[in-house]
A and B are shown apart, each in its own frame.
Chain A
């Protein structure tokens, strides 16, 4: 019988609890703001003997992911956490972890990238590795950071998936703010995540195996990459299955896209992570004024749920896509490009605008969200073009 504890907790606390409850075998990590309290909390579990985890206090994030690759290839359940420059330093290893088809769960406390140096929340770090082959989830709240983290283990280690998963939460806003959270009892969680059954581990298998082999010209590099593309494309139903199974236990639904009042909406904002709350508040205010506003929050970012995004947006007169990072030199920010491409693929030429917002932790004010919705009305009326703009800069 599931037993729930209600507590006030930060997102980082909840991620640390999720890792503890998942009975992680190896956790190799390096401190970086605003992720640090995840590994600090975990180090305390280790010191107190509450977990059997081998905690590898590595000398860099590059080594954190390198050790995670080694541990996962050996057959262990592996988790780690990072942010910002740390994620950037791991870049080489992110591609290797995915290319070697190794289940690893990594929490990322989404934070700005230098320069200039800035420790606050945005999505520049995570968007830099959106094409690395990892499955990527975005949490809006501390509760969802917990839920996503648990779901991640089921997905990563699923025999039909075998891919690394990033469970992300916005720096400071979600990592550090206290919220009302529900913590499931350990036994129920362990039963939900199950045991990892590794394929071709370095030891404990029937014979010697090779991981990270050389596939140059005449090898099978091209075919292996095609197989990797198929693996992430085909992971979607297993992600939904894992989310549904957790929803059954927790009572909290799991959808790739949380389409809030999108059914009849004329003007929709697409958003990832913590800014969804403010967006819904403004949309509610506009609805009171008779303007049909909606919010489509993307929870699963990779593989990109194009079908679900289009389903949410298809009836809109204008769509604003909020991007908490820029794709410098491209027509739109990363989410803008994804959403526009999805609409085009379905033959929907709904006018869009792309808003870069909240970089380096800049406030996402209600006024700024109001401005975006106001512009969408002008856009629908043909009074504004579809360009990219920075929202809320001084």
Chain B
């Protein structure tokens, strides 16, 4: 990987002036990941419908300094499959020079990936297109106003998993998307976070350089939806890792490796929860058992990843 000075001088693919909120984790994720593409590599990007898409491509402007395609919500993976297939076909007939290399990357939110786009993603992974698919996971349908998705954490508030006398937020745990993707036995799948930028850039570089399908599940906090101040995005990302809420790991050719939380860095999950308004109700008297349930779930998942890493 290039050093930080070199990275700071790399041309941005997603440039300033877009309309994402201050503190949005998605744009940070895109910029960090694009650093992994290599400074001179041509990249074509596909975005699923979502915050990133609506905020970066409002006609007559575009914030992308690379070729871009958006199709619909659930089909970024299928759309980019077609783009990649076209690249191969045009290369076969000599319409693209044999020595010209283009990388393909798709970005979808958790709604567009865990939920409505899961079938399209699974198909593309199984077919093994040479592309990188990135899920920027902010744990809800933020673009439509913070509705719950299958990535929304247990007991979290969202506008379709409301907190009330009968139900204390989302009753279900999160879907384990990274493992689902890994079960396709693609050459590279990883989970990462914008709070650990060096690790993310490194994983993005691996994903871009892997022939065949590669996947990154990236935690991208959302100040509006998670109910915290915009300047805390990176701090909260780091807390997600330090509390084991968001394990960082990769599966390269079937070999699982994780970045373990150091004993001295380890914090209870409350530290992640209490920083965010979406978990505020958990700290009301009498709800201690809910936090305990979250801690148990977080520990169980972390241990599962650890077991997978042998």
The reply to whether the CB of A199 lies closer than 8 angstroms to some CB of chain B is: no
Complex: A213 Cα to B62 Cα, angstroms = 8
The reply to whether the CB of A387 lies closer than 8 angstroms to some CB of chain B is: no
Complex: A246 Cα to B3 Cα, angstroms = 61
Do A70 and B68 touch (CB < 8 A)? no
How far is the CB of B104 from the nearest CB of chain A, in Å?
A: 10
Q: How large is the interface on A (under 10, 10 to 19, 20 to 34, 35 or more residues)?
A: 35 or more
- Most chain A CB neighbours (cut-off 10 Å) among B44, B64, B78, B88: B78
Do B72 and A66 touch (CB < 8 A)? yes
Do B93 and A70 touch (CB < 8 A)? no
Do B90 and A96 touch (CB < 8 A)? no
Q: Which of chain B's residues has its CB closest to A64's CB?
A: B78
Complex: A58 Cα to B79 Cα, angstroms = 11
Complex: A4 Cα to B65 Cα, angstroms = 50
Complex: A62 Cα to B89 Cα, angstroms = 22
Do B89 and A52 touch (CB < 8 A)? yes
Do B93 and A52 touch (CB < 8 A)? yes
Do A66 and B86 touch (CB < 8 A)? no
> Which of A26, A52, A57, A213 makes the CB contact (< 8 A) with B59?
A213
| Chain A residues, Cβ within 8 Å of B123 | 58-60, 63
Do B70 and A202 touch (CB < 8 A)? no
Do B90 and A25 touch (CB < 8 A)? yes
A56-B127, A66-B72 known; A208 vs B65 contact (CB < 8 Å): yes
The reply to whether the CB of A74 lies closer than 8 angstroms to some CB of chain B is: yes
> Which of A26, A68, A96 makes the CB contact (< 8 A) with B72?
A96
| Chain B residues, Cβ within 8 Å of A60 | 119-120, 123
> Which of B83, B89, B102, B120 makes the CB contact (< 8 A) with A73?
B83
Do B59 and A69 touch (CB < 8 A)? no
Do B86 and A70 touch (CB < 8 A)? yes
How far is the CB of B60 from the nearest CB of chain A, in Å?
A: 7
Q: Which of chain A's residues has its CB closest to B13's CB?
A: A208
| Chain B residues, Cβ within 8 Å of A334 | none
| Chain B residues, Cβ within 8 Å of A343 | none
The reply to whether the CB of B46 lies closer than 8 angstroms to some CB of chain A is: yes
Complex: A92 Cα to B88 Cα, angstroms = 27
The reply to whether the CB of B177 lies closer than 8 angstroms to some CB of chain A is: no
**Interface residue stretch chosen among A35-43, A167-175, A215-223:** A215-223
Do A214 and B86 touch (CB < 8 A)? no
The reply to whether the CB of A143 lies closer than 8 angstroms to some CB of chain B is: no
The reply to whether the CB of B82 lies closer than 8 angstroms to some CB of chain A is: yes
Render A164-184 as a binary contact track against B, CB cut-off 8 A, 1 for contact: 000000000000000000000
The reply to whether the CB of A76 lies closer than 8 angstroms to some CB of chain B is: yes
| Chain A residues, Cβ within 8 Å of B126 | 59
The reply to whether the CB of B183 lies closer than 8 angstroms to some CB of chain A is: no
Complex: A212 Cα to B81 Cα, angstroms = 16
CB proximity to B under 8 Å, residues A294-353 = none
- Most chain A CB neighbours (cut-off 10 Å) among B60, B72, B96, B126: B72
The reply to whether the CB of B307 lies closer than 8 angstroms to some CB of chain A is: no
Complex: A66 Cα to B72 Cα, angstroms = 8
A-B contact count (CB 8 A): 160
Do B82 and A208 touch (CB < 8 A)? no
CB proximity to B under 8 Å, residues A65-102 = 66-76, 78, 92-93, 96
Chain B residues with a Cβ closer than 8 Å to the other chain, count: 44
Do A214 and B58 touch (CB < 8 A)? yes
Do B53 and A214 touch (CB < 8 A)? yes
| Chain A residues, Cβ within 8 Å of B75 | 62-63, 66, 93
A66-B75, A203-B102, A204-B90 known; A74 vs B83 contact (CB < 8 Å): yes
> Which of A62, A72, A202, A210 makes the CB contact (< 8 A) with B57?
A210
Do A25 and B86 touch (CB < 8 A)? yes
The reply to whether the CB of B71 lies closer than 8 angstroms to some CB of chain A is: yes
| Chain B residues, Cβ within 8 Å of A25 | 86, 89-90, 93
The reply to whether the CB of A209 lies closer than 8 angstroms to some CB of chain B is: yes
The reply to whether the CB of B301 lies closer than 8 angstroms to some CB of chain A is: no
| Chain A residues, Cβ within 8 Å of B42 | 203
CB proximity to B under 8 Å, residues A115-160 = none
B interface residue numbers (CB < 8 A to A)? 42, 44, 46, 53-54, 57-60, 62, 64-72, 74-75, 78-83, 85-90, 92-93, 95-96, 102, 119-120, 122-123, 126-127
Beyond A25-B90, A28-B81, A70-B69, 19 extra complex contacts between A and B, CB < 8 Å: A52-B89, A52-B92, A54-B88, A67-B78, A67-B81, A71-B82, A71-B89, A74-B87, A93-B72, A93-B75, A96-B72, A202-B67, A202-B69, A202-B86, A210-B64, A210-B67, A213-B59, A214-B53, A219-B58
Closest 9 CB pairs of A and B: A70-B82, A67-B82, A59-B123, A74-B86, A63-B78, A76-B86, A66-B78, A212-B70, A71-B82
Residue pairs across A and B with Cβ atoms less than 8 A apart, 13 shown, are A26-B85, A54-B88, A56-B127, A59-B123, A66-B75, A69-B79, A69-B82, A75-B95, A76-B85, A76-B89, A203-B102, A204-B95, A214-B57
A interface residue numbers (CB < 8 A to B)? 25-26, 28, 52-54, 56-60, 62-63, 66-76, 78, 92-93, 96, 202-205, 208-216, 219-220
